[in-house]
């Protein structure tokens, strides 16, 4: 695809070609916005494709479009990954292929393998500097990969650990004994797949998420994880250490030593597996947003920056009060909000977005301390 001339700005540029980027681009199409572009650093759905091969969605997919409800993992009306993939819990690779199909169907203009270096507000427009070219846009939607920046801090020696996001396949790990740090979804996922291959796992968490009585999977564990924890392999091979914060990891001549806050020491032949979540890409445009007390960008009611008009955020980093939108079925509710705001700014009626506004049911009773959510 050829780039537009510098003096011809796009009405909207979306940074990121994942579920949020493709989904909001479809909503922009519904709003009648044709002069748009999606920029993707790798390929469409790359963050999902890089998941460990065995890792699946914890939110189930079900082809319910026929009765007016949406598959929980759908990003566009009428498109169900359950129907197209014929699976209930897609793997990351499967879901990436679904995203590519949606983008192709709606003819979303996407440039892949392009790296955005910076976004700068210049007058009424934005300058998007990439390695290849400089682009201009009236509006920018930041929907870049939240799961490409593993969180590697938190205790002394955490850099010696291996983040679970860097594992290609759990079955390829050779050792028979592992330590996993982090007891939320990715930690339970790692422990489960290792246990299936008859590998012993000691799993540590500073809290006890598997005992949480909260119904929101942004805070407690999903039903899918609880089901897997009850399987015989998990019961036999996984030992849980709740309320046992890790204070340090040290490299010894032939092993790694893990020390807990209460002074216990554990040894393992392999680097401990760190399941501590992700930093998120919103930090790359932090200068364009005010910051909330929890560190997330402060947004208007339209998910727009409160200090730079025309700069929007879309995806799992969206926060409003104590509401967390870190699952697809949550943050897709915001696609129409962003698209309508941009369409209105451009003088478009955006009448077709009423369908998007009615997606799902808004959860009025979400709450989270902001510290334990892995998202």
pLDDT at position 106, please?
Answer: 94
Burial of 263 by CB count in 10 Å (0-12 exposed, 13-18 middle, 19+ buried)?
Answer: exposed
Q: What CA–CA distance (Å, rounded) separates 144 from 122?
A: 21
Q: What is the pLDDT of residues 106-115, one digit of tens each?
A: 999 999 999 9
User: What's 133-160 look like in SS3?
Assistant: CEEEECCEEECCCCCCCECCCCCECHHH
Report the candidate in 201, 259, 261, 252 with the shortest Cα–Cα distance to residue 229: 201
User: For the chain, what is the mean pLDDT?
Assistant: 88
Strands (E) across 79-115 are located at: 110-111
DSSP-derived letter for residue 76 is B
- Fold of the domain spanning 158-274: FAD/NAD(P)-binding domain (3.50.50)
Q: What CA–CA distance (Å, rounded) separates 236 from 85?
A: 33
Please state the rounded mean pLDDT for residues 220-239.
Answer: 94
Of 62-66, 233-237, 282-286, minimum mean pLDDT range: 62-66
> Which of left, alpha, beta for 280 (phi over 0: left; psi -120 to 50: alpha)?
left
- Vertex 25 angle, CA 23 and 30, to 5°: 95
- Reply yes or no on whether the pLDDT at 283 is more than 90: no
Global confidence as pTM: 0.89
Please state the rounded mean pLDDT for residues 277-291.
Answer: 86
**12-149+278-357 with 158-274: one CATH topology?**
yes
Q: What is the pLDDT of residues 61-93, one digit of tens each?
A: 988 766 556 889 999 988 899 999 999 999 999
Report the candidate in 117, 127, 119 with the shortest Cα–Cα distance to residue 7: 127
pLDDT tier, 326 (very low <50, low <70, confident <90, very high otherwise): confident
Per the CB < 8 A criterion, the answer to whether 35 and 11 are in contact is yes
Per the CB < 8 A criterion, the answer to whether 313 and 282 are in contact is yes
Strands (E) across 195-302 are located at: 200-204, 238-241, 246-251, 256-260, 265-268, 273-274
Report the candidate in 240, 257, 107 with the shortest Cα–Cα distance to residue 182: 240
pLDDT at position 279, please?
Answer: 76
Question: Domain 12-149+278-357 - what CATH class?
Answer: alpha beta
pLDDT tier, 97 (very low <50, low <70, confident <90, very high otherwise): very high
Per the CB < 8 A criterion, the answer to whether 153 and 26 are in contact is no
pLDDT tier, 156 (very low <50, low <70, confident <90, very high otherwise): very high
pLDDT at position 372, please?
Answer: 38
Per the CB < 8 A criterion, the answer to whether 31 and 346 are in contact is no
- Reply yes or no on whether the pLDDT at 366 is more than 60: no
pLDDT at position 49, please?
Answer: 93
Q: What CA–CA distance (Å, rounded) separates 264 from 173?
A: 26
pLDDT at position 325, please?
Answer: 86
Highest average pLDDT, of 85-94, 281-290, 361-370, comes from 85-94
Token pair for residue 171? 């079955």
- Reply yes or no on whether the pLDDT at 347 is more than 60: yes
> Which of left, alpha, beta for 185 (phi over 0: left; psi -120 to 50: alpha)?
alpha
Domain boundaries, the chain: 12-149+278-357, 158-274
Q: What CA–CA distance (Å, rounded) separates 309 from 61?
A: 36
Hey, how many other C-beta atoms are within 10 angstroms of the C-beta on 36?
21
Sheet with 140-142: strands ordered across: 110-111, 36-39, 12-15, 140-142, 311-313
Hey, how many other C-beta atoms are within 10 angstroms of the C-beta on 193?
24
Q: Which residues contact 295 (CB under 8 A, 6 or more apart)?
A: none
pLDDT at position 25, please?
Answer: 97
Q: What CA–CA distance (Å, rounded) separates 256 from 273?
A: 11
Please state the rounded mean pLDDT for residues 325-354.
Answer: 87
Of 175-179, 223-227, 251-255, 349-353, minimum mean pLDDT range: 349-353
Q: What is the pLDDT of residues 24-41, one digit of tens each?
A: 999 999 999 999 999 999
pLDDT at position 306, please?
Answer: 97
């Amino acid at each position: 695809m050829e780039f537009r001339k510098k003096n011809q700005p796009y009405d909207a540029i979306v940074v990121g070609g994942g579920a949020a980027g493709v989904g909001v681009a479809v909503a922009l199409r519904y709003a009648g916005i044709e002069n748009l572009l999606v920029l993707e650093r790798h390929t469409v759905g790359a963050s999902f494709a890089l998941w460990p091969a065995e890792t699946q969605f914890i939110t189930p997919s079900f082809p319910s479009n026929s009765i007016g409800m949406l598959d929980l993992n759908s990003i566009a009306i009428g498109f169900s990954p359950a129907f197209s993939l014929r699976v209930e819990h897609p793997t990351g690779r499967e879901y990436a292929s679904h995203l590519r199909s949606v983008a192709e169907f709606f003819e979303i203009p996407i440039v892949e393998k392009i790296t955005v270096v910076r976004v700068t507000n210049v007058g009424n427009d934005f300058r998007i500097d990439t390695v290849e070219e400089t682009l201009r846009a009236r509006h920018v939607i930041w929907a870049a990969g939240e799961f490409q920046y593993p969180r590697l801090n938190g205790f002394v020696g955490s850099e010696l650990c291996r983040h679970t996001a860097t594992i290609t396949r759990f079955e390829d790990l050779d050792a028979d004994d592992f330590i996993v740090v982090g007891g939320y979804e990715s930690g339970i996922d790692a422990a489960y797949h290792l246990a299936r291959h008859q590998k012993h796992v000691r799993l540590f968490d500073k809290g006890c998420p598997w005992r949480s009585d909260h119904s929101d999977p942004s805070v407690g564990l999903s039903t899918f994880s609880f089901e897997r924890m009850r399987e015989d392999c998990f019961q036999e091979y996984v030992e849980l250490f709740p309320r046992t914060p890790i204070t340090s990891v040290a490299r010894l001549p032939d092993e790694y030593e893990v020390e807990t806050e209460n002074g216990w020491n554990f040894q393992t032949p392999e680097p401990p597996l760190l399941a501590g979540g992700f930093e998120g890409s919103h930090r790359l445009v932090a200068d364009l947003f005010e910051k909330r007390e929890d560190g997330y960008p402060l947004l208007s009611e339209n998910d727009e920056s409160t200090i730079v008009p025309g700069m929007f955020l879309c995806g799992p980093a969206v926060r409003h009060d104590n509401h967390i939108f870190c699952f697809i079925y949550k943050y897709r509710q915001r696609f129409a909000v962003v698209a309508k705001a941009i369409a209105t700014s451009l003088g478009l009626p955006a009448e077709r977005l009423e369908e998007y506004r009615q997606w799902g049911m808004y959860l009025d009773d979400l709450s989270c301390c902001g510290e334990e959510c892995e998202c």
